[in-house]
Structure 1
Amino acid sequence: MWQNLAKSLFGSANDRYVRSLDKLVARINGLEEQLEDFSDDELKAQTAKFRQKLEAGETLDDILPEAFATVREASKRVLGMRHFDVQMVGGIVLHRGEIAEMRTGEGKTLVATLATYLNAIEGKGVHVVTVNDYLAARDAEWMGQLHKFLGLTIGVIVPNLGEQQRREAYAADITYGTNNEFGFDYLRDNMKQERRQMVQRPFNFAIVDEVDSILIDEARTPLIISGPTEDKSELYIALDEIVKKLEPEYYETDEKAKSVQLTEDGVEEVEKRLIAAGLLETDNLYDIENTQVVHHLDQALRAVVMFKKDTDYIVKDDKVVIIDEFTGRMMDGRRWSNGLHQAAEAKEGVEIQPENQTMASITFQNYFRMYPKLSGMTGTAATEAAEFWDIYKLNVVEIPTNVPVQRVDEDDEFYKNTMDKFAAIARAIKEKNQTGQPVLVGTVSIEKSELLSNFLDKEGVKHAVLNARMHEQEAHIVAQAGRIGAVTIATNMAGRGTDIQLGGNVDFRIDDELGDMEDGPAKDREIERIKAEAAAERQRVKDAGGLFVLGTERHESRRIDNQLRGRSGRQGDPGLSRFYLCLEDDLLRIFGPDTLFAKMMNANLEDGEAIGSKWLSKAIETAQKKVEARNYEARKQVVEYDDVMNDQRKVIYEQRAEIMDSERVDDVVEEMRRDAINAIVAEACPPGSYPEQWNVAGLKERVEEVLGLAPDLDAWMEEDQVEPEIIEERLQEQAERVLAEKSANIDEPIWRRVEKSILLERLDHHWKEHLATLDALRQVVFLRAYAQKQPINEYKQEAFGLFQAMLDTLREDVTRVLLTSQFRAAAPPPPPRALPDLPEFLTGHIDPFTGEDDSNDGDGSSRQAGLFGTLAGSPVASTGSGGSQTDDPFADKIISRNAPCPCGSGNKYKHCHGAHA
């Protein structure tokens, strides 16, 4: 009670913070008259003036009022748009590294130009991160006019760009692109052999558009670059034979999870059989050295015991083809990950295809935390404010609307079943349609869209159905969803880049209707006609009540519901929103069919009858909060595990950068050689032991294997006062002599390049193997919970030990290669005309715990990302009955989903014509 009273008197903390920015906004406004008198050239010269001020010691905060005022004036001249005061507040919030929550239609894209311009003046680069390629290209072109006018350079990162094009785009003052492109470029850069091959500059400042979608929704799965591993066919076959001979009493099965666990007796029995087959490095199955064997054993058990031929897969043309458990269709080109598909191939005796191995990976959380300054903007962030702060240390600031919101948000209506609900929805849409009020309907899946489309056909309501991800086409259709009598059904409709303007979007109408018309008086007349028609229609729509947003189901996240609602009531327009629910909705099933809630609904509702109350709406919100908390825990778990790898990743990537930047690495190589020799001697001659206890035979073997030397160790052992240190020194001297002889016949610059290339190649090789081991460890470490141990703590401990072991192996390997390889001088190759590109690796979002690929293969029903918040795919737009169009001219051909689409678009098949295959 006291909190509410204090808030009513003094305002919330957010209100007070926003009010504190009023003085700064007043200073910006005070400069407007002065800048209006500037000529275009004088306004353009402001950028050079600001740079001089920064060089003189002023800070970005010092020049903020003048810079923001300059952007506002330039926007008026170039774009014909003037920043509102609340947009200035949003720009300040972005510049300060916070999240600006601004309602749909408040002009977030224009707000970003303020902070983008100010921070780009330094010349260190600003990244504007969008949710899809269409928005990146659109914003770069649209807002780029403003930045170019002020003398800044613009770059845009989209798929299928060459390395040089990417390098030039990142060298620009402002670079637009998607989160995926930025993340994958970072990983690819850290796989290159020379600094000049890298495309990105050091991180400086990033503004993330639709920050909730990118940093929350898409942060569940890491970015992964993978490539084929070495052939492990023999291991798969050997494990398959062992598992097939294993009696059922040695394991327990879980049909629901499709998992198999060895019993205690099973572990002992399998250990015996693996030792007999020579597959274990130690006698204990669960020693860290056997992690990969345990992982592949687990997959072999699943393949043999749980996955059934002709049910889960079929064998066709000597290949194991997965069968979709829901549709029963063959899924050509799809493969189970983490070695499961290879285990199934070994089971069926067909050719075993190489497993794809992780070569580099990073979560969005750890990628974006590398920016010294990070900010974001969205229409819906407040519900996830705690997560933004916990993970990214980002504060969410709610920016007030320019004009008070007039939209009416009605209580939810509840029905007994789906058919009753959709019949009521169709009646409500028909009623609004007859009055001319435009309706936007948000559904959660393609199936629900088609079901509603059938109901509307019966009611005789003309409508458009959007189920696609062809963003540009969708943008044109959605832009006209506010016209008189328009009915638009969209899957997962969210605030993504295009406003719904009452009466229709004039700019889009001009593009659609006059796109082919030549400039001239005739076109000008047509433009004026369209503007007049739109103004009259806008008033008619306002009189009809504005845009009616109708939700057919509640989403797991309140943010998605708020995004849908936010499409109505922009800039003070009238509007209405209402959600329709029933007991068969996914979210309501959380309550369970036997709960008091369900019994009350069934007992008190007649068929077709609706009920609505604030208590029920509150209950739904509580359920959503629980689901949001569960999803947060899942994302938090991903971060916890990746944080362990992230510390190691930083060490490796920093080491790689130092090596690439160094003219010579002989000091690093020498230190590695000393450490390797020290480890070899310490292993054979433990500290504190006597010479007669030393393993001289083992020392001879290791010295020959690693150093390629054959010293007379027996003679050394007969000397008085022999010490391990003396043996180390003599081995070091011999090794240095051998290297001096090898390098004597080769020019010094060439020898330096040899050392550097060997060091980088071996580092990359062992890092890749280390990632594979960590992948396998993560898959099995949860079993430690049965021993009352925390899996994450066990993972941290084991990962640290593995990393130390990898570094030891790396030192030894670099030493071995340099000392045992034969080098000869050769004619230098001709200088390359261009920098070599990396080979084409597979990229994707792989769930680190289930191994499932979440790279937007499915339709909109499988993800929470909004209509404009996913990767580009194939267009599915229609009018009338609204059935989804999935015409694929290549449907009769067997095409890998990761292969380039045969249509020549340059996209992967799964993101083009195979998007709905």
Structure 2
Amino acid sequence: MIASHRAVPRVRNRIGWRHRLARLGGSPVELDLRAFDEPLADIARLEDEVAGLSDERITRRAAELRAGAEAGLALDALQAPLFALVREAAGRTLGLRPFDVQVVAALALARGRVVEMQTGEGKTLAAVMPAALHALTGNGVHVLTFNDYLAHRDAEWMGPVYRMLGLSVDAVQQGMTPAVRHRAYRADVTYVTAREAGFDYLRDLRATDPDDVVHRPFHMALVDEADSLLIDEARVPLVVAGRAEPRDSRARRLAEIVAALAAGVDFDTDEYRRSVELTETGLAQLEQVLGVSSLHDAGQCALLTELNCALHARVLLRRDVDYLVRDGRIAMIDEFTGRVVPDRHWPDGLQAALEAKEGIAPDADGRILGSIPLQHFFRGYPHLCGMTGTAQDAADELRGLYGLETVVVPTHRPTVRMDRPDVVFTHREAKELAVVDEIRRVHARRRPVLVGTLTVAESERLAARLRAAGVACEVLNARNDAAEARVVARAGRLDAVTISNNMAGRGTDIRLGGADEAERDQVVALGGLHVIGTNRHESRRVDLQLRGRAGRQGDPGESRFFVSLEDDLLVRYGIRNLIPARIMPARHDEPIEQPIVREEIARAQRIVEGQNHEIRSTLSRYTEIVEEQRRRLMDCRRALLHGREAPAVWRSVPDRYGELVAACGEDAVRRAEVAVTLHEIDQAWSEHLARCADLREGIHLVRLGQQDPLARFTDEVVDIYDRMEVEIRRFHIDDTNNDAMVHQCVPR
């Protein structure tokens, strides 16, 4: 992860910036790095002076910079001296002096860019400089990590650097109490996963006492693995739900009914778009079985939605690919990370349909109390930047969604990894046998092998084949991801064979030979880490991340993908229909050599990436109006919570108000007013989210009437919100609310 493993003499590592290409035609990718020459030189000029300071003097100098920031000095004016201090502090506390490429990355991050740095080039250390710079303001910085392990590791690892600068650092972990979270967020720099920070934000929006709010106002977020979090995960909403009564669902019966439907007759499946639709024949059969005249009648909308969910669960969601059944419950597998995602459910009726399909007792329905897409959560930070190993392919989307430009930072040493052409087979069986043969061949020389698979089922099939062939291997998938960092860190040792999902261990370095320098030399002599991919992913960026596990910091390495025309991506794309039959036998155990096949595979990946981009863009348009309403209502709620606005609950009953003030005191009555009004807002917002979810589920049906679904959705949501606001404004003290108010009015 860090570019240097020992103290390094202060010799400038000048980089030939001018060999980089200039930015062309408004591209969101910045390849011309000459703009960083001057600030880099400013930092270098301070190195000798800073090197002569004692540890205590470094701390005092940083305190002086902090005083300047808090007095209103621009951070640009403090950047060079602060970065020079960080560079020196890192060398003293960690034995790691940032290279010039890391400083350039830090400069770009401080300017609000997304930085692309290859695996092993030292993103963790580079992030300390912009984080420390913004921490000088006293407003707090969040480093948003990919998982809990990285949040804890990076806070502990980089902590000595921050502390030498007089800055506090902490980490938020899943399972922490609100009091501990509150303290962690008060640190100058807080390492936390985006999900944990987002859920804390949603819980803060329902706080009824200012002391229960754990977050400070947002200032700056530095997003690690930015392409994954800002792009791939952006379409997944964070949801805080409350428990409701167990549902009396008809999902089990509907699951049995759709199980009798015939593919190609009663429903059509579009593998390319991962969608399934009932045919007229299927609709007629369902209407007959259910005894309804027409499923398109307005009164049957809910039933039709449940049937579509049951069909989706049966046809499109696959066990050990999209989900696991664990301890009698459905556990969702994240399609990008391959990990089980805790506490995430499919929306609306799809979760119930899946439970019915698997014969699992349904959970109680969770009532949505608060929700926010990650994309809108990230936009809540006035200062946003990010870093990743694969940003270029996402640059247009990063600019479109967040207004972020991308800067590509070169490697400190030239990359010498050999990326071999794909090996393509007609069918999956031949591919898997070839993968086993390749692993056995490489393993026989004791060279470490890392295999990236797409699904749990595939990783376990491959492991069984290897063990039958006498090859020991470590398996890391959604069933056993707790040991992720430990397993991946050992993947560069002699004789290691590691099978993992494509994204496992992201952020964890694979060092050749581990910590043993003699073993490292042996592995280098063997050619370094050999990486094998068993599928092309929907996103080329994930494939590049897998390749990037080999060849870190100029190490040797090799990568190759093995692909079959039966792989999910290619089946969805319908690739067999696009390749002339004369060059592709129906079934063949040897690799297909024709270049057109590899070209079509690459084209399929580009098209699916474009399709996913369009899905994210569409979802963004649908969530925009609801997020605007959330911001509007929550601004009002915060004003009430923090006393900037007074409720007027009792205007219609002034006599009763006077009685309560006389009995309990004006402060107590005012607190009760706020509590009851906040409760009313929270209830109304929860109901609004439920209505919006129901509306979104069936809005596509308006196409049958030649209407634009997005325009109709927007009109309906605006109307629903306006009615909700009117109800809140016309809030009267009925008997129930009166009881609630009296209960809240406790005399001091």
TM-score computed with the length of structure 1 as normaliser: 0.68
Name 1:486's counterpart in structure 2: 496
Q: Quick check: 2:514–2:520 contact (8 Å CA) kept in 1?
A: no
Partner of 1:661: 642
Which of 765, 777, 796 in structure 1 is aligned with 2:695? 777
Distance 1:427 1:823 in 2: 74
Indicate conservation of the 8 Å contact 1:583/1:598, yes or no.
Answer: no
Distance 1:487 1:127, change over 3 A: same
Match of 1:361, SS? strand
Residue 398 of structure 2 corresponds to residue 416 of structure 1: no
Pair 1:599-2:559 in alignment: no
- Using the TM superposition, name which of 125-134 and 444-453 deviates more: 444-453
> Using the alignment, how far apart are the partners of 1:160 and 1:445 within structure 2?
28
Residue in 1 aligned with 2:165? 150
| Residues matched between the structures, number | 686
Instruction: Classify 1:597/1:361 alpha carbon distance in 2 versus 1 (closer, same or farther; 3 Å).
Output: same
| Equivalent of residue 442 in structure 1, options 447, 452, 455 | 452
In the alignment, which residue of structure 2 is the partner of 1:895?
none
Check conservation: 2:673, 2:741, Cα contact below 8 A.
Answer: no
1:362 alignment partner AA = I
Question: Contact 1:205–1:371 (CA<8 Å) still a contact in 2?
Answer: yes
1:172 correspondence with 2:182:
no
Q: What is aligned with 2:119?
A: 104
Q: Which of 468, 478, 487 is 1:477 aligned to?
A: 487
CA separation of 1:809 and 1:460: change in aligned 2, threshold 3 A: same
* CA separation of 1:326 and 1:68: change in aligned 2, threshold 3 A: closer
State how far apart, in whole Å, the 1-side matches of 2:385 and 2:621 are: 22
Contact 1:36 1:73 in 2 (8 A): yes
Shift of 1:443: 1.6
On the 8 A contact 1:415/1:608 being kept in 2, the answer is yes
1:652-731 correspondence runs (5 A) = 652-662=633-643, 665-666=646-647, 668-669=648-649
* Partner SS, residue 43 of structure 1: helix
2:716 is the counterpart of 1:806? no
Distance 1:825 1:566, change over 3 A: closer
Distance 1:344 1:405 in 2: 46
Mapped partners of 1:75, 1:325: distance in 2: 43
How far apart are 1:127 and its partner, in Å?
Answer: 0.3
Alignment CA distance shift 1:392-1:295 (3 Å): farther
Structure 2 distance, partners of 1:826, 1:491, is 53
Matched, 1:619 2:628: no
Taking the aligned partners of 1:336 and 1:402, their CA distance within structure 2 comes to 43
Deviates more, 1:104-113 or 1:482-491: 482-491
* 1:74 aligned partner: 89
CA contact (8 A) 2:524 2:556 kept: yes
1:366 has 2:347 as partner: no
Shift of 1:91: 0.4
SS at match of 1:17: coil
Task: Indicate conservation of the 8 Å contact 2:491/2:497, yes or no.
Answer: yes
Deviations 1:423-479 (A, max 9, x none): 332333333233343222212123322333344345443433322576673323322
Q: Distance in 2 between matches of 1:70 and 1:781?
A: 56
* Counterpart in the other structure of 1:633: 614
- 8 A Cα contact 2:143 2:223, kept in partner: yes
CA distance in 1, matches of 2:412, 2:391: 18
The whole-number CA distance in structure 2 between the counterparts of 1:454 and 1:471 is: 18
Task: Report the 3-state secondary structure (helix = DSSP H, G, I; strand = E; otherwise coil) of the residue aligned with 1:127.
Answer: strand
Match of 1:28 in 2: 43
Shift of 1:496: 1.1
1:196-243 superposed Cα distances (whole Å, 9 cap, x missing partner): 21000101000111111212222232111112347987xx89xx9xxx
Q: CA RMSD in A?
A: 4.0
For residues 469 and 46 of structure 1, do their structure 2 counterparts lie closer, same or farther at Cα, with a shift above 3 Å needed? farther
Structure with bigger gyration radius: 1
CA distance in 2, matches of 1:792, 1:752: 42
User: Please, which moves more after superposition, 71-80 or 324-333?
Assistant: 324-333
Offset, 1:176:
0.8
Structure 1's 598 and 487: CA in aligned 2 closer, same or farther, altered over 3 A?
farther
Q: Which runs of 5+ in 1 are unaligned?
A: 1-6, 245-251, 275-283, 287-292, 313-321, 507-533, 674-731, 831-917
In the alignment, does 2:395 pair up with 1:395?
no
Contact 1:440 1:488 (8 Å CA) reproduced: yes
**How many Å apart are 1:285 and its aligned residue?**
8.0
Change (3 A) 1:748 1:272: farther
2-structure distance, mates of 1:416, 1:165: 55
Q: 1:44 to 1:218 in 2, by over 3 A?
A: same
- Residue 762 in 1 paired to residue 680 in 2? yes
Structure 1 residues 109, 374: CA separation in 2 closer, same or farther (over 3 Å shift)? Answer: same
| 1:432 aligns with one of 425, 428, 442 | 442
Displacement after TM superposition at 1:606 (Å): 5.2
Residue by residue over 1:7-27, the C-alpha shift from the partner in whole angstroms, topping out at 9 and shown as x without a partner, is 999644556531220221121
CA distance in structure 1 between the partners assigned to 2:740 and 2:323 by the alignment: 58
Aligned-residue offset at 1:600? 4.3
Q: Which residue of 2 aligns with 1:505?
A: 514
Decide which moves more: 373-382 or 19-28.
19-28
Shift in alpha-carbon separation, 1:9–1:581, aligned structure 2, 3 A: closer
Q: Is the 8 A contact 2:664 2:745 kept in 1?
A: no
Q: What is the CA distance between 1:584 and its match in structure 2?
A: 1.7
Partner of 1:564: 546
CA distance in 2, matches of 1:41, 1:328: 54
Q: Normalising to structure 2: TM-score of the pair?
A: 0.82
Q: Which of 616, 622, 625 pairs up with 1:644? A: 625
Q: 1:795 aligns with which of 688, 708, 713?
A: 713
Partner secondary structure for residue 32 of structure 2:
helix
Sort the Cα spacing of 1:40 and 1:323 in 2 relative to 1 into closer, same or farther, 3 A.
closer
The amino acid of 2:428's aligned partner reads: T
Cα pair distance change 1:306/1:476, threshold 3 Å: closer
Deviates more, 1:778-787 or 1:595-604: 595-604
Sequence identity percentage? 38
CA distance in 1, matches of 2:204, 2:211: 10
Residues 646-669 of structure 1, C-alpha deviations (whole Å, 9 max, x = no match) = 011011111111001117725x44
Given that 1:414 and 1:612 are in contact with CA atoms closer than 8 Å, whether structure 2 keeps it comes out as no
Q: State the distance in 1 between where 2:482 and 2:306 align.
A: 46
- Displacement of 1:612: 6.2
CA distance in 1 between partners of 2:106 and 2:188 (Å): 18
1:750 aligns with 2:668: yes
Q: What is the deviation of 1:766?
A: 1.3
Is 1:163 matched up with 2:163? no
Distance 1:52 1:358 in 2: 44
Higher relative contact order (CA 8 A, sep 6+): 1
Closer/same/farther in 2, CA of residues 201 and 457 from structure 1, 3 Å limit: same
**Shift of residue 781 of structure 1?**
1.6
* Separation (CA, whole Å) in 2 of partners of 1:489 and 1:112: 30
In structure 2, distance between residues paired with 1:472 and 1:343: 29
Between 412-421 and 203-212, the greater mean CA deviation after superposition: 412-421
Instruction: Give the aligned residue type for 1:205.
Output: M
Distance (whole Å) between structure 1 residues aligned to residue 35 and residue 602 of structure 2: 33
Change (3 A) 1:820 1:603: closer
- Tell me if the contact between 1:759 and 1:814 (Cα under 8 Å) persists in the aligned partners: no
| Match of residue 65 from structure 2 | 50
Cα separation, partners in 2 of 1:812 and 1:487, compared to 1, 3 Å: same
CA offset digits 1:743-772 (Å, max 9, x no partner)? 454422222122222211111111111111
Partners of 1:788 and 1:171 in 2: CA distance: 53
Contact 1:739 1:819 in 2 (8 A): no
Identify which of 367, 370, 382 aligns with 1:357: 367
TM-superposition CA deviations, 1:316-374 (whole Å, max 9, x none): xxxxxx9999999898445986357889999xxxx998632211000000000110011
Structure 1 distance, partners of 2:408, 2:682, is: 45
CA deviations on 1:143-165 (whole Å, 9 max, x unpaired) are 11211222111121111111111
Report the residue type matching 2:715 in the other structure: Q
Between the aligned partners of 1:552 and 1:325, the Cα distance in structure 2 is 15
Residues 621 and 355 of structure 1: CA distance in aligned 2, closer, same or farther (over 3 Å): same
Contact kept, 8 Å, 1:745 with 1:824, in 2: the verdict is no
Change (3 A) 1:598 1:455: farther
582 and 333 in structure 1: CA distance in 2 versus 1, 3 angstrom threshold: closer
